[in-house]
Chain A
Amino acid sequence: MARRKGLVINDRQLDRCDALLQKLREVSGSSFLALISTSGQPITTASDEYHPETLSLASLAASSFAATQQLAKILDENEFTLLFHEGKGLNLHVSQVNDQVLLIVTFGRDTQVGKVRLYTQRAIEVLRQIFDGPDDEVTPAMDADFESAAGTAMDDLFKDV
């Protein structure tokens, strides 16, 4: 049976992701980008003035993408690696980086879809190297101190409800 494994992001990975997303935003003409986990949790974002509600967006995009994968199976297609929604003023593009990470890109109608797809595909190749490369940094575990402090924080949060 597979071991339950969390997705752990270290400083170096996040710095490289942030730099890449910023570059992708500039060259593709997109307005908002986010890396999220396939279980719907945001990892990092890049945006201009436009800031959607990231937590809800990540949850809904990951769920929609997971549903799309199941649609592919039902249709006997190996996989759908892309989810695209076209709106009146805004488009949403969700693509798979690896088994644990998705890339969300939003862009206006004045930006060409083909341009976004081309640059996004190139960015995904680099992102895969960032996430799938050897993890050369030792990441500390959540220890007993964390557990105890979290317990206290929970008691505080729930005490008046």
Chain B
Amino acid sequence: MPLINFAAREINYKIVYYGCGLCGKTTNLQYIHRKINPDARGKLVSIATEEERTLYFDFLPLTLGTVKGMQTRFHLYTVPGQSYYNASRKLVLQGVDGVIFVADSQITRLDENVESYLNLWDNLLGQGDDLSKLGFVIQMNKRDLGDVFSVEDLNELLNHTGSPVTESSAVIGEGVFETLKVVCKQVIAKTG
């Protein structure tokens, strides 16, 4: 649900990073915040517990600049991954334009990935949105670790929509911007 302010020549899109606890959602945002031109981003806001686990969300605004006379922004959010924070996840999903589902590629995290993936679709369907207008990418994270699923296996397990898939190691920044670019292009294409 982008906010298009023709009077102020602005357009704002909301992108949400979703996935199970400790899959790397906040790490994605922290890497983007560290690496992108400081003029193109705002403050990284985190509502986290004392143990630095996300309690409500992280928020990072990015400015793409002026495109065809419109100041274009992406507002990046994460959700809390732990299963008992579902009420908070639903709130963060309100008004979303694009979702990056961050999958933890480790074999030991399969159950958590599947639970989070099903929870995402439950929550999106519960909002009553037309999901064909939603940007959606699956980021297979932690590819640098051993004992991980193959991309093909994870794709079969988690990608019932046949959506674009990217591979990443968010902690070292690999694949972080590639994933973001894919979802940003999708949400712009689906706005028209």
Contact = CB atoms under 8 A, between A and B. Distances in A.
A37 B91 CA distance: 14
B64 interface: yes
B48 interface: no
Interface size band for A: 35 or more
Contacts of A4: 1, 129-130, 133-134
Interface stretch (B22-30, B34-42, B115-123, B142-150): B34-42
SS of B interface (majority): mixed
Residue of A5, A66, A144, A158 with most chain B CB atoms under a 10 A cut-off? A158
Contacts of B5: 8-9, 14, 43-44
Given A154-B181, A154-B184, A6 B191 contact: yes
Contact of B3 (A39, A67, A146, A147): A39
Contacts of B72: 150, 153
A98 interface: no
A66 B87 CA distance: 10
Contacts of B1: 4-7, 39
Contact of B75 (A40, A44, A144): A40
A15 B7 contact: yes
A1 B130 contact: yes
Interface string B68-86: 1010110101000000000
B160 to A, nearest CB: 18
Interface stretch (B53-61, B100-108, B151-159): B53-61
Nearest to A140: B6
Contacts of A155: 181
A140 B187 CA distance: 17
B124 to A, nearest CB: 11
B133 A146 contact: no
Nearest to B65: A153
A147 B184 CA distance: 10
Contacts of B42: 53, 55-56
Interface string A37-65: 11111011000000001011001100100
A9 B11 CA distance: 10
B40 A142 contact: no
A141 B11 CA distance: 12
Contact of B185 (A5, A154, A160): A154
A80 to B, nearest CB: 14
Given A142-B4, A150-B68, 17 more contacts: A4-B134, A14-B5, A14-B8, A15-B7, A39-B94, A44-B8, A56-B42, A56-B61, A59-B77, A63-B92, A70-B90, A146-B67, A146-B68, A146-B70, A147-B189, A151-B188, A157-B62
